[in-house]
């Protein structure tokens, strides 16, 4: 390359170069041009943003309460900011002796839990509770709980199964008496149990008039084996409503009775 004097530069190949040298210089120029144009990038189809991965429910469990099952699970941490909207619950009934209930999945969900409209479900902290009925003796039930996001897209499922067993009899003649910050409960023993059942005790549930239903978990941490109970540390002048369940083990599973009749009392300061 030389300066011509009129403000221009020209590439001048020296005659003494061999043909092999000229070929090399031409190739170098072509390669340089390719590098320049390739740096501009090239257009292509737009790749969609990756959608957040939904997680299956944690700690799925099924308990039997009388003629119903109670399904419960924990909302996975971080799933709601990622777009979780709720869960679809699929139920497959099968005979207890059937070997592969997973081989025939139900196409239509039996229950839907929407976080914006819980309806029959309840949420306590990060735990979801929902009952399910229409169960039959001799049958077991496979449940698949499938999360879905705001667009309706489903994520990975969690499954659990349980047989329906004859529930134990309910406690009878429940009575409540209020005193200063105390309610004393008493009841009669449940009717005789089935021969293959082992008695564990009674579970006590409590609510106030402002609450429309009992909580899914009992007031007492351990089953009460006797027929009386003192509920301590209450607020005076509030009406408390109680119900009980008999709890047994049968075929290696814990089974609860339906709710007993309710009893209520108002603790009051002693005069």
The per-residue pLDDT for range 40-71, each reduced to its tens digit, is: 444 555 555 556 678 999 999 999 999 999 99
Instruction: Count the alpha carbons within 13 Å of 144 in the hemisphere toward its beta carbon.
Output: 18
The yes-or-no verdict on residue 23 having pLDDT over 60 is no
For residue 198, being part of any structural domain is answered with yes
* Least confident stretch, 3-7, 138-142, 192-196, 240-244: 3-7
Whether 66 and 155 map to the same domain: the answer is yes
The per-residue pLDDT for range 137-177, each reduced to its tens digit, is: 999 999 999 999 999 999 999 999 999 999 999 999 999 99
What integer pLDDT is reported at residue 119 of this predicted model? 86
What's the order of all strands across the beta sheet hosting 158-163?
111-114, 84-95, 139-149, 158-163
The yes-or-no verdict on residue 229 having pLDDT over 80 is yes
Domain boundary among 122, 145, 163: 163
Question: What's the burial of 7, exposed, middle or buried (CB within 10 Å: 0-12/13-18/19+)?
Answer: exposed
What integer pLDDT is reported at residue 39 of this predicted model? 46
The yes-or-no verdict on residue 14 having pLDDT over 50 is no
The per-residue pLDDT for range 244-261, each reduced to its tens digit, is: 999 999 999 999 999 999
Domain boundary among 116, 145, 163: 163
For residue 271, being part of any structural domain is answered with no
Distance of alpha carbon 154 from alpha carbon 150, whole angstroms: 10
16 falls in which pLDDT band (50, 70, 90)? very low
The yes-or-no verdict on residue 26 having pLDDT over 90 is no
Distance of alpha carbon 171 from alpha carbon 228, whole angstroms: 12
Whether 105 and 158 map to the same domain: the answer is yes
Whether 76 and 21 map to the same domain: the answer is no
Distance of alpha carbon 168 from alpha carbon 188, whole angstroms: 14
The yes-or-no verdict on residue 1 having pLDDT over 80 is no
The yes-or-no verdict on residue 271 having pLDDT over 80 is no
The per-residue pLDDT for range 91-144, each reduced to its tens digit, is: 999 998 888 888 888 889 999 999 999 988 999 999 999 999 999 999 999 999
Scanning the structure block, which residue is given the tokens 């409960």? 185
Whether 244 and 195 map to the same domain: the answer is yes
What integer pLDDT is reported at residue 12 of this predicted model? 47
Full domain range(s) for residue 185: 172-265
Distance of alpha carbon 20 from alpha carbon 24, whole angstroms: 6
Distance of alpha carbon 77 from alpha carbon 58, whole angstroms: 9
The total number of structural domains that make up the chain: 3
pTM of this structure: 0.78
């Amino acid at each position: 390359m030389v300066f011509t004097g009129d403000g221009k530069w020209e590439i001048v190949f020296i005659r003494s170069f061999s043909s092999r040298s000229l070929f090399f210089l031409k190739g170098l120029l072509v390669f340089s041009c390719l590098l320049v144009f390739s740096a501009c990038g090239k257009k292509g189809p737009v790749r969609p943003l990756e959608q957040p991965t939904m997680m299956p429910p944690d700690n799925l469990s099924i308990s039997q309460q009388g003629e119903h099952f109670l399904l419960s699970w924990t909302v996975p941490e971080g799933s709601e900011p990622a777009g979780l909207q709720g869960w679809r619950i699929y139920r497959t009934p099968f005979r207890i002796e059937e070997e592969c209930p997973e081989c025939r999945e139900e196409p239509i969900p039996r229950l839907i839990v929407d976080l914006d409209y819980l309806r029959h479900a309840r949420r306590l902290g990060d735990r979801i509770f929902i009952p399910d009925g229409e169960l039959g003796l001799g049958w077991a039930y496979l449940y698949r709980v499938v999360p879905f996001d705001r667009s309706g897209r489903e994520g990975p499922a969690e499954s659990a199964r349980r047989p329906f067993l004859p529930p134990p009899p309910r406690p009878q003649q429940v009575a409540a008496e209020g005193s200063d910050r105390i309610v004393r409960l008493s009841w009669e023993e449940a009717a005789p149990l089935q021969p293959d059942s082992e008695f564990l005790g009674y579970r006590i549930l409590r609510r106030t008039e402002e609450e429309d239903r009992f909580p899914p978990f009992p007031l007492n941490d351990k089953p009460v084996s006797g027929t009386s109970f003192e509920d301590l540390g209450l607020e005076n002048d509030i009406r408390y409503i109680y119900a009980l369940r008999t709890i047994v083990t049968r075929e290696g599973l814990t089974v609860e009775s339906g709710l007993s009749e309710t009893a209520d009392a108002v603790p009051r300061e002693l005069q």
